[in-house]
Amino acid sequence: MGIKRVKPRVRIEHRIGCLHNFADTVVCLNGEILGKPADEEEATEMLKKLSGKEHEVVTGYCLISRDMRLSGHVLTKVKFAELGDEKIEEYVKSG
């Protein structure tokens, strides 16, 4: 999986000593990118998909200051324990 480099669409005012930090994270399961769930039903379905399985969490980041720009990504493999329906419901309801 590749992460596309995009130009920031915001104007950043660079002040001496100021560091801007941008980041975003996605979850990937078997090549499928799982977006942020829109509601409790989608959250429940996502957790059921992830239950007992290993997936990847990819965080892209960019640090920008007046003098430098540093960007990259970090990939973490995560293994979920088996989650029963009751545990999933409890977690989703917690917000």
CA triple 61-67-70, angle to 5 deg:
20
The mean pLDDT of the chain is 87
Catalytic residue among 24, 39, 67, 85: 24
Tell me what the mean pLDDT of segment 9-32 comes to: 80
Q: Tell me the pTM.
A: 0.71
Question: Does residue 24 have an active-site annotation?
Answer: yes
pLDDT at 1 over 50: no
48-80 pLDDT tens trace: 999 999 999 999 999 988 788 899 999 999 999
Counting residues of the chain whose pLDDT is more than 90, the rounded percentage is 68
Residue 52 per-residue DSSP state? T
In angstroms, how far is the first alpha carbon of the chain from the final one? Answer: 30
Q: How confident is the model at residue 20, as a pLDDT? A: 86
